[in-house]
Amino acid sequence: MIHNFGRLARHRNAIALSLAALLAGASASAAQTTINWLHLEANPERLATWEEIAAAYEAENPDVNIEFQFLENEAFKAKLPTLLQSNEAPDMFYTWGGGVLEAQSQTGAIRDITAAMDENDGEWRSSISPAAVDGLTIDGKVWAAPIQSGVVSFFYNKELFEEAGVDGESIETWDDFLAAVQALKDAGITPIAGGGGEKWPIHFYWSYLAMRELGQEGFNTAKNGEGFMGEGFVAASENLIELGELDPFQEGWLGATWPETQAVFADGRAAIILSFENTATPQNQANAATDGEGLAQDNIGRFPFPVVEGGEGQITDDFGGLNGWVVTTNAPPETEDFLKYFTNVENTRLLAERNNVLPTTIGAQEGVADPTMAMAAEQMSKATWHQNYLDQDLGPNVGRVVNDMSVELVDGQMTPQEALQQIQDAFSMEMM
């Protein structure tokens, strides 16, 4: 009997110890920090890289668990405002920056990460392109961690340029560019593939010309309340009209969609396109071209948008997309630590190498293998100012007017004063 009681006692002790271990494990699990990461990434290869980086962070930080949450692009835009005001707000989410980010910064739903950026003598801040950090800074506070960017540039068909006697590498000023357009026309070559049907591709021209005329200080002064009726904007609009008077685009450009516009360039039916850095990558060329092949990679040249003589802008002032990650107000403090890890040079170099993105972390551009993308990354690494797309930066309402009037200016349907008044009216409504 004693033997049996002893066995029973040992059994009870074992149960007690097991229960204690389970309770301790449950307590540890309950104490674990969870970072809810809301994204809209549908590309499985890019998502796989993110998951790998997150798993590596979790391995180094076993008390942190990172959970991915997905919303499709339009659902993300529609549902995010409600989510941010609810108890189900994510801890970090994707941003395009600009006016939407500024509006979010005023709601109290997100927190600025300036202190985290400036810890350890600015270790995190100094690891990222200053232009990218500035692009996600509002009123002196950093509201998102930059991860990738893009720059709009001119791409050209080297064979067609040679046929017309044009040296693409010598185009430095707007007058140089107009002369190249005229030389191409004189050679019987359509100069530019233009996409007027969706309008936003034409706003690239007006946006860049305004940047080149006013420079960063003048452009920001306008956005901060002075408005868009000044001499620099008038000059930019006149420059765009001057381009339109050369009739530079393919027949039917006013109705051309962006895929149709890309095909015009990829087929060799026009010599130039003002576009994103990935337009000239081999896969995008093949996808856009009528024959499924496109231009040979070594037949594609590239140059930055030229400066305007007498303007305040610099050739190193860039225009394009800028993306980052926002931290919400009630997110755990580990969220900033993870973002610092996610945006370090090793991880962003991995993103560049595997997923063909242009990282904003200094030194990560070395991972970009495609030569066209590498040129864009090199340009961005030297950027003195990065201006986000105006339909993001000024908000969709003002941006839509900019898109519309850009086409009207090129097509000769508006004077600069008429176009700028429309922008100013839309801008004033947003400021009310």
Percent helix / strand / coil, the chain, rounded to 5: 55, 15, 30
At residue 20, the pLDDT reads: 44
Strand partners, 138: 141
**Which amino acid would we find at residue 121?**
D
Give the SS3 label for residue 166. coil
**In angstroms, rounded to a whole number, what is the distance separating the alpha carbons of residues 68 and 37?**
5
- What region, left, alpha or beta, does residue 130 occupy, with left being phi > 0 and alpha being psi -120 to 50 degrees? alpha
Name the nearest CA neighbour of 72 among 35, 44, 39, 48: 39
Q: Which helix (H) or strand (E) holds 319?
A: strand 317-320
Alpha-carbon span 139 to 323, nearest angstrom: 18
User: What confidence tens digit (pLDDT) does each residue in 275-293 have?
Assistant: 988 788 877 888 899 999 9
C-alpha 187/C-alpha 202 separation (Å) is 24
Domain boundaries, the chain: 33-148+322-386, 153-319+394-431
Q: Are 173 and 306 in contact (CB under 8 A)?
A: yes
Report how far residue 202's alpha carbon sits from residue 403's, in angstroms, rounded to the nearest whole number.
Answer: 7
Place of tokens 């007017």: 401
**Distance from the Cα of residue 306 to its chain's centroid:** 21
Looking at residue 10, its pLDDT comes to 34
CATH of 33-148+322-386, one of 1.10.287.1080, 3.30.980.10, 3.40.190.10, 3.40.630.30: 3.40.190.10
The span from the CA of 68 to the CA of 337, in Å, is 17
d(CA 20, CA 13) in angstroms, rounded, equals 10
Residues in the chain: 432
pLDDT at 74: 83
Residue 294 has which token pair? Answer: 């496109």
pLDDT tens column, 94-106: 999 988 899 899 9
Question: In the numeric block, which tokens belong to residue 247?
Answer: 């009739």
Query: Euclidean distance between the first and final Cα of the chain, in Å?
Result: 89
Q: Which residues of the chain have pLDDT under 70?
A: 1-31, 432
Which pLDDT tens digit goes with each residue over 26-80? Answer: 444 444 899 999 999 988 999 999 999 999 999 999 999 999 999 998 899 899 9
Q: Does 33-148+322-386 match 153-319+394-431 in CATH topology?
A: yes
Asked whether 240 and 419 are in contact (CB, 8 A), the reply is no
Q: Quickly name the fold that domain 153-319+394-431 has.
A: D-Maltodextrin-Binding Protein; domain 2 (3.40.190)
